[in-house]
Structure 1
Amino acid sequence: MTKDQLLTRRRALLAGAAAVTAAGTAGALALGRGAPPARPPVSAPAPGTVPSRPLKPSAYRLDPLTGYGAPRPAPHRPPVRSEPLLSMTGRGRTMLLTFDDGPHPRYTPQILDTLAEYEVRATFFVCGEMAEAHPALVARMAEDGHIVGNHTWTHPLLTSLRHGRIRSEMERTSEIVEKVYGKRPQWFRAPYGAWNRSVFQLGADLGMEPLAWTVDSLDWTTPGTGTIIERIEKGAAPGVVVLSHDAGGDRSQSVDALRSYLPRLLDSGYHLTVPRRQFT
């Protein structure tokens, strides 16, 4: 190739490059004037590269710090006891009133009304199947400031059951209480006062303390309103835990007795309250 031919070819290449540059500059000016940019063509990924993918919906979830999707905190695990708590420690003339087996649509509202009249809080050990059937009553217990404890799902004799069945009875009840009361129960009472190693262990695993009683009104035997009143008033003392019932049978005597002994205990200087994590 001659020298003249080389010069001619070089000039042609330079002219082509100048044309491409001019076209790019014109496009850039057009974008500056507001012309929409052209969508780049979709091309296959280069060999050896991993194609990018759109984020899955789960990638857009809120951060757990906001509470969305955060795991439920494990319940506080109390010590595994070998016997239930029978009384309340502390100073002064303080007592606990407790009611088992409810809630009942007839008797529980009357008990709640009496407690509200005297601005007294109590503890209700509910059965899971009753709580599921009457959730509004459990919700009212929460609104009135009462404590709701676990009394198993069907009120069985726990010492006659296998470990798995005991867990089911207790766990299902804790779940329904959390659903309708707003938080999981921190107190547990075994039906019939029948405790064993599995009951204490499972109760602690579920974050509950075992609470029994000091004074049994035996109201479930329907001994008469006067007898119930006498038993509770004679047993009154600082730290006492009183056992009564708001379901499981005819509890009209229990309702009438409460209306009599409650104001008398208050007049005698007793402070009727609910349990706290200060038992020993």
Structure 2
Amino acid sequence: MKKDQMLPRRRVVLGGAAALGAAGTAGLLALGADGDPVTPLAPAAGPPARRPLKPSAYRLQPLAGYGPPAASGRTPVRSEPLLRVTGIGRTMVLTFDDGPDPHYTPDILSTLRAYDVRAMFFVCGEMVVHNKDLLAQMAEEGHVVGNHTWSHPLLTGLTRGRIRSEMERTSEIIEEAYGERPRWFRAPYGAWNRAVFQFGAELGMEPLGWTVDSLDWIEPGTRTIVDRVRNGAGPGVVVLSHDSGGDRSQSVRALRDYLPQLLDAGYHITVPRRYQV
């Protein structure tokens, strides 16, 4: 599917996804290692920061949980996505969804390279087909590639067979282009259900959500994206951004701005190790 055809469809689906319920997300903002709220990164000199980040409708409450099975030998399955990472000190993770896109992904990779930073890219299979070279570059430069389905559908509205196909095909093409099968999975629109968690586990992947939504998907302006990331910064935070699915020039410019600020503030931007259930 062409990129200019994907954005309108995704925005329509997003409206349906939001209707599933964003309730319950208010408690998912960043907390420190001791459980106390994290103090946001102080704004840089200039215009005052916008109001504090609040959970958006793009981050949905996890749907039906599956939970670890009894002692049956089956692969353990999570009942909700991981929303943050563990690490020593001020560790953060930057994630980019919906690519790879030849218009924006190379610029994001260039900025990450300039600061010797690794990130996670949750890719769509249909975007990988014609951009396998970008996944090879991600592998060479130490970035982690995750599964974001083949065509970015609202999984909770699909049959079990369609869900598995969307996930399995994407894992296969990632292995072909990246060199190994993905160990992480993110559901489009943050809409998870029992089948999504189960198939993810069967395919050897952990579900990763996010702590801070940059809201770059609504193209709010570079300054707004920068402020949201800076205000939401904290130990263990996972930042959601996009490198495809629309005009991502604001995301590219914002990364060039907030990344050096986070590093100057002492944050270690890295990729997580695989979680053990």
Structure 1 residues 130-165: Cα deviation after superposition (integer angstroms, max 9, x where no partner): 011110011100011000000000000000000000
- For these two proteins, the number of residue pairs brought into alignment is 204
Say what the alpha-carbon RMSD is for the aligned residues. Answer: 1.1
Residue 268 of structure 2 is aligned to residue 267 of structure 1: no
| Runs of 4+ that moved beyond 4 A | none
CA shift in 2, pair 1:96/1:78, >3 Å: farther
The partner residue of 1:218 within 215, 219, 223 is 215
**Residue 273 of structure 1: CA displacement?**
0.4
**Aligned residues of 2:212 and 2:239 also touching (Cα < 8 A):** yes
The partner residue of 1:123 within 120, 125, 141 is 120
**Aligned residues of 1:174 and 1:185 also touching (Cα < 8 A):** yes
Identify unmatched segments of 5+ residues in structure 1: 1-76
Letter of the aligned partner of 2:182 in structure 1?
Answer: P
Letter of the aligned partner of 1:155 in structure 2?
Answer: H
Residue 133 of structure 2 is aligned to residue 158 of structure 1: no
Q: Distance in 2 between matches of 1:91 and 1:140?
A: 28
Q: Distance in 2 between matches of 1:183 and 1:110?
A: 24
**Residue 79 of structure 1: CA displacement?**
2.5
**Residue 279 of structure 1: CA displacement?**
6.4
Q: Distance in 1 between matches of 2:81 and 2:175?
A: 23
Q: Distance in 1 between matches of 2:81 and 2:147?
A: 14
Structure 1 residues 246-273: Cα deviation after superposition (integer angstroms, max 9, x where no partner): 0000000000000000000000000000
Q: Distance in 2 between matches of 1:180 and 1:88?
A: 26
The partner residue of 1:89 within 86, 89, 107 is 86
Seq. identity, %: 74
The partner residue of 1:256 within 231, 253, 256 is 253
- Residue of structure 2 in register with 1:200 after alignment: 197
Q: Distance in 2 between matches of 1:87 and 1:249?
A: 26
**Aligned residues of 1:222 and 1:253 also touching (Cα < 8 A):** yes
TM-score (norm 1): 0.72
Structure 1 residues 166-211: Cα deviation after superposition (integer angstroms, max 9, x where no partner): 0000000000000010000000000000000000000000000000
1:43-62 matches, cutoff 5 A: none
**Aligned residues of 1:122 and 1:147 also touching (Cα < 8 A):** yes
SS in 2 for 1:173: helix
The partner residue of 2:98 within 101, 105, 116 is 101
**Residue 89 of structure 1: CA displacement?**
1.5
Q: Higher helix proportion, which one?
A: 1
- Residue of structure 2 in register with 1:19 after alignment: none
Identify unmatched segments of 5+ residues in structure 2: 1-73
CA shift in 2, pair 1:279/1:269, >3 Å: farther
Letter of the aligned partner of 1:253 in structure 2?
Answer: Q
**Residue 275 of structure 1: CA displacement?**
1.6
The partner residue of 1:228 within 201, 209, 225 is 225
Letter of the aligned partner of 2:101 in structure 1?
Answer: H
Letter of the aligned partner of 1:112 in structure 2?
Answer: L
CA shift in 2, pair 1:121/1:164, >3 Å: same
- Residue of structure 2 in register with 1:13 after alignment: none
The partner residue of 2:133 within 128, 131, 136 is 136
Letter of the aligned partner of 1:249 in structure 2?
Answer: G
- Residue of structure 1 in register with 2:241 after alignment: 244
- Residue of structure 2 in register with 1:180 after alignment: 177
SS in 2 for 1:149: strand
Which of structures 1 and 2 has the larger relative contact order (alpha carbons within 8 angstroms, sep 6+)? 2
**Aligned residues of 2:97 and 2:123 also touching (Cα < 8 A):** yes
**Aligned residues of 2:155 and 2:192 also touching (Cα < 8 A):** yes
- Residue of structure 1 in register with 2:4 after alignment: none
Q: Distance in 2 between matches of 1:100 and 1:78?
A: 27
SS in 2 for 1:130: helix
- Residue of structure 2 in register with 1:54 after alignment: none
Letter of the aligned partner of 2:124 in structure 1?
Answer: C
